[in-house]
A and B are shown apart, each in its own frame.
Chain A
Amino acid sequence: MTVAILASDLVKSYTPGLRALDGVSLQVTSGEVLVVMGPSGSGKSTLIRTFNGLETLDSGELDVLGVRLDAAHEERQVRAIRRRVGMVFQQFNLFPHLSILENITLAPIKVQKRSKPDAAARAIALLDQMGIGEQAHKFPAQLSGGQQQRVAIARALALDPEVMLFDEPTSALDPERVKEVLDAMRQLAKRGMTMVVVTHELGFAREVADRVMFMDQGQVVETSDPQTFFTSAREERSRRFLSQMM
């Protein structure tokens, strides 16, 4: 078992005296699906955004795929990590001026220097896998939210990442569109992708997660397997959160 992400004692504050991350330590092994839950403002987004250098750290040690992303991280190292770590946002963040196909092939062509036909073939295969192969030549504004989010997943996968980060990927979707995105993520997990998923989808967590991590006020409250977490959470704070969710 190799370690994909190793973090110890991460600290980060945006405003002095207010810690968004307050000594977070965790480990994600390759092939594992870690679901992160917690109330609003508990630091979930901040945490996974440090994993690809979108946020810098104040202190702590962070090792992603063997590359150190510490308090004093370097731009070059961050860029190297970003090619190997895919990320999907709550608001999809597709490029509105590019077609679906161009959205997906942009980075493979410009960053990995793949040939256009090569990148396009791969993009079509990924879109088929997401069940939206026929949308390749449309533009983001012409797609539903669920379809856009699946394009965003395909766009991240096109770089053949070793780890995928998801920050509330279904929170901006209409309820009837949530399932299609979760199904795509489920498939991905089945193929052995290493995933860190911030989500409030209890069903998904129960079924797909290898472990569930519960955060509150910038700290890790507990980390358990989903069976334990959902039936007999150790901590009072976790139980209160769960009772509000259900």
Chain B
Amino acid sequence: MNRWLDRSITLLILALIGWAGWSLLHWLLVGADWSVVTTNLPLYAVGSFPADQRWRPLLWMAVLITLTLLTLVGPKRGWVRRWLPLAWIAMAPLGLWLLAGGLGLLPVGTRSWGGLTLTLLLTGGSGALALPLGILLALGRRSDLPVLRWSSAGYIELMRAVPLIAVLFFGQLLIPLFLPPGLEINRVLRAVVAFALFAAAYIAEDVRGGLQAIPPTQREAAAVLGLSPVQTLQLVVLPQALRIALPSLTNQAVGLLQNTSLMAILGLVELLGISRSLLANPAFIGRYLEVYLWLAAVYWLACTAMALLARHLEFQLDPVRSSR
């Protein structure tokens, strides 16, 4: 009796899945009109970057993809491997230079930045700011100085209690107030700073978890060797704590990438922003499903690449596994 029930439920579920899969496939191949994607590929990639300068963001992304592939499936040893970390660190300044121009390149205003390029730059830029800030906050929270401890904890709790979108709006409105009159920083930078201030609170909590996992005897062992407190932190405690925090930091990084889409509300034309402006174009009216499916695929690809890179980093940093 029970067996028959099991079987019929299984069959029913299979039939449902098959039907849904078939309709989706049918729609993808016959019903959908992909022209909204195919004719706008440059927009998705680089936004409204001047056509004769498009090679700059495209070059940056090409280097990024090359580095990703080299890291994941490139040679295991040799000079390529040795230079990879430095190359990765150079990617943020390289991206900024290629997009903004100057130093021999034609300057391009941030209003023309957009698409996947902007999404990646926002992720990289805010991540690069948030990580050191988060580490400092985590250390502050464990400091011996009560003032430092309380202000770090207060900051972290405050940021974690406020939704990101509110922080982003406040950033647009408040950051200019703190700057001397006449000095104006542009929207993209304001968004990156606000985003980093927010992410730092979460990163701080992850790093704190890592710090707590280091037994006090490690500090003692460093102290009896005559290492100063700063050296102990830099050479013994932080390397171990960050390694422990790495899996949760990876989650934060992927979340960072996805949350850049909120900046569309601030008027930045990153991936989501570009899509919304395309959907507002009469030529592509009603093509929601195509656009959002395509968008989902691009985000999925970028997030998967990030997750793979993070897993690779975890493996590299595990001394015992990587030495085999």
Contact = CB atoms under 8 A, between A and B. Distances in A.
A123 B228 CA distance: 21
A144 interface: no
Given A54-B220, A89-B221, A137-B323, A95 B236 contact: yes
Contacts of B217: 89, 91, 93
A97 B323 contact: no
Nearest to B231: A110
Interface string B220-260: 11111111100100011001100100000000000000000
A61 B33 CA distance: 88
Contacts of A137: 323
A93 B235 CA distance: 15
B224 A87 contact: yes
Given A137-B323, A138-B323, A141-B320, A93 B218 contact: yes
A231 B226 CA distance: 41
Chain B facing A: main interface SS? helix
B180 interface: no
Contacts of A93: 217-218, 220-221
A137 B319 CA distance: 11
Contacts of A86: 224
Contacts of A106: 225, 227, 235
A107 B323 contact: no
B229 to A, nearest CB: 9
Interface in A120-165: 137-139, 141-142, 155-156, 159
A82 B222 CA distance: 10
A10 to B, nearest CB: 19
Interface in B168-225: 217-218, 220-225
- Which interface residue of B220, B225, B235 has the most chain A CB atoms within 10 A? B225
B220 A95 contact: no
Nearest to A98: B319
A52 B221 contact: no
Contact of A155 (B225, B243, B319, B320): B225
Interface in A7-28: none
Contact of B240 (A87, A97, A139): A97
A155 B223 CA distance: 13
Contacts of A94: 221
A106 to B, nearest CB: 7
A54 B225 contact: no
Contacts of A99: 319, 323
B317 to A, nearest CB: 8
B235 A110 contact: yes
Nearest to B243: A97
A142 B227 contact: no
Contacts of B221: 89, 93-95
Contact of B319 (A89, A91, A96): A96
B323 A82 contact: no
Contact of B224 (A52, A95, A96, A110): A52
Contacts of A96: 240, 319
A159 B225 contact: yes
A87 B220 CA distance: 10
Contacts of A159: 225-226
Contacts of A85: 224
A111 interface: yes
A212 B265 CA distance: 77
A111 B193 CA distance: 38
Nearest to A106: B235
A48 to B, nearest CB: 11
B225 A82 contact: yes
A176 B20 CA distance: 66
Contacts of B235: 106, 110
Contacts of A114: none
A151 B222 CA distance: 15
A79 interface: yes
A157 to B, nearest CB: 11
Contacts of A82: 223-226
Nearest to B228: A79
5 contacts: A83-B226, A89-B217, A97-B319, A106-B235, A142-B320
- Ordered nearest first, which 3 A-B pairs have the shortest CB separation? A93-B221, A107-B225, A83-B226
Interface of A: 52, 54, 79, 82-83, 85-87, 89, 91, 93-99, 106-107, 110-111, 137-139, 141-142, 155-156, 159
Given A82-B224, A93-B217, A96-B319, 13 more contacts: A54-B223, A79-B226, A79-B228, A86-B224, A87-B224, A89-B217, A98-B319, A106-B235, A111-B225, A111-B231, A137-B323, A139-B320, A142-B320
